[in-house]
Amino acid sequence: MKKLLSSTIFVRFRGDPQSSRVSVSLFSTKTLNPSSPSFLYDRIQVIRDPRVSIVPVLNQWVQEGRPVLKHELQSLLHLMKDFRRFNHALEISQWMTDRRYFSLSPSDVAVSYVREKSVEKAEAIMQKMRESGMATSSFPYNVLINLYSQAGEHKKIDILMQEMEMKGISQDMFTLRNRLSAYAAASDISRVEKILHQMEEDPHNVVDWKSYSVAANGYLKAGLIEKALTMLKKMEWKMPLLRRKYPFENLLTLYASTGHKDELYRVWNLYKPSNEVLDASYACMITALAKLDDIAGAEKIFQEWEFHRTMYDFRVLNRLLVAYCKKGLINKAESVVKKAIEGRTPYASTWNILAIGYMEHKQMPKAVEMLKNAMFIGRQGWRPNTVVLAACLEYLEGQGDIKGLEEIVRLYKNSGPLTRDIYHRLLRTYIAAGQSISEVLDQMKMDGFTADEETHKILESRTSL
């Protein structure tokens, strides 16, 4: 039996059946076989709440006698990950393991638990892999090492190393690099140096630029500047000739952290983009120079970018604005923005940075103005910096500026629901002005906010006025 989908959105798997790539068709009227993977996706995608399990949907699919293919479930798993539905991705992975339909690779079960940073879930899946005889390569151990490092559970890494040794599982380049990252994060310099020496002495292992970057970070964190500089020199030699953008920007950031401005300029002049203007590299250099208090140098790099650019990327300007605002150079920030917006529409973040600058230098009327500008052009879902928003609301409330407060609230509602704090500010301002608060209370209730202790205090204050 065919199912007709009219005026709906569905995902249809195309091309190589082993591929996990999908395309989305909007308002399609094509027929769809209900036993196809798209139909299974239709059942899963309607469950948007991550707290609601999708396992019953998978079980029902099997009970109906429908086919279950590994590559189809892998595609669904990757889709859940891409949509940031990590809990559902974990459920699919767990279900595949529990049902024992497939011989899973470690990547099938490891695809999302690091992103979710769930140590318990990761360990549970790893235990099932051990019991089923699947934990036979370095890959699942590498993933756990990475997770333990992020969670700060460095002692568990040693236990994994012992397990790998007992099972005769060799440590590969990723194992060593993950251990290096963990020890660098923990400022365990002796172990950093031991691992690095092991990597350099292994004739089968090529130490890449990432490893030296990790080691340099560890030394910087421990305040060992000279050792960090040694690592950065080695990192330079290991940088790839092609696709150099990311290591180059990483190098700039690290050299700025050493405090050696001459080395920073040397690296910039040696490796800076020549055939094409890379906005991100210029932005990174501006930030690096600002970190070293070289505002004049940051201005020159910005002017060089402006001269060579092909399109105007306000993210580069934003880096200079941050530097100006931190140094209290508000007039310069105003001037450069005024020039940049001639014939162009800036990003909401540009106005937001200026709002923060004005707030920090006690120029609240201008901070409010910049906040309004940011919220007016902000994309759907964009929210301003919470600190500057609270400061502007507090200022307007203190001024008894109902119109100004209502305008901020109206703009804020365009990107999502109000917060309890905003409702409380509205209530206090309305009460102080002698205006009716019934509409505010009704909207507050509609948004799911029940009256708490603070709400009652505000309402009781009416009697004392």
Span 149-202, pLDDT tens digits: 878 888 899 999 999 999 999 888 888 888 999 999 888 999 999 999 999 998
Q: Percentage of residues in the chain with pLDDT exceeding 90?
A: 40
Beta bridge partner(s), residue 8:
28
Of residues 155 and 112, which shows the higher confidence score?
155
Instruction: Please give the pLDDT value at position 315.
Output: 94
CA 231 to chain centre: 28
Does the pLDDT value for residue 255 go beyond 90?
Answer: yes
* Cα(139)–Cα(27) distance, integer angstroms: 42
Q: Are 350 and 339 in contact (CB under 8 A)?
A: no
What's residue 55's pLDDT?
Answer: 85
**Res 281: pLDDT:** 92
Quick one: pLDDT at residue 171?
86
Rounded Cα gap, residues 325 and 176, in angstroms: 42
Mind listing the pLDDT tens digit for each residue in 63-88?
888 877 777 777 787 777 667 676 77
What is the chain's mean pLDDT, rounded?
A: 81
Query: Over 80: is that where the pLDDT of 11 sits?
Result: no
Between the two ends of the chain, the Cα-to-Cα distance in Å is 71
Q: Rounded to whole angstroms, how far apart are CA atoms 382 and 401?
A: 25
Give the Cα separation of 390 and 396 in Å (integer): 10
The Cα 166–Cα 152 span in angstroms is 24
Cβ atoms of 32 and 5 closer than 8 Å: yes
Gap between the Cα atoms of 207 and 202, Å rounded: 9
Secondary structure (H, E, C), 152-172 = CCCHHHHHHHHHHHHHCCCCC
pLDDT of residue 99: 60
Q: For residue 130, what pLDDT is reported?
A: 86
At 98 the pLDDT is 61
How far, in Å, CA of 442 to CA of 342, rounded? 43
Look at residue 27 in the predicted model and tell me its pLDDT.
Answer: 26
Would you put residue 373 in left (φ > 0), alpha (ψ -120 to 50) or beta? alpha
In whole angstroms, what is the distance from residue 90 CA to residue 123 CA? Answer: 13
Q: Which pLDDT tens digit goes with each residue over 310-328?
A: 889 999 999 999 999 999 9
Cβ neighbours for 452, distance < 8 A, ≥ 6 positions apart: 420
Mean pLDDT over 201-230 rounds to: 92
Q: Is 319 exposed, middle or buried (0-12, 13-18, 19+ CB in 10 A)?
A: buried
What does residue 25 show for φ and ψ, rounded to 5 degrees?
Answer: -105, 130
Question: When comparing pLDDT for 386 and 50, which is higher?
Answer: 386
The CA-atom distances, in angstroms, between 71 and each of 45, 93, 97, 110, 227 are 18, 12, 14, 16, 48
Q: Compute the CA torsion angle 114, 119, 121, 127 (nearest 10 deg).
A: 110
236: left (phi over 0), alpha (psi -120 to 50) or beta: alpha
- Rounded mean pLDDT of 137-152? 83
More confident residue, 429 or 125: 429
Token pair of 4, please?
């007709």
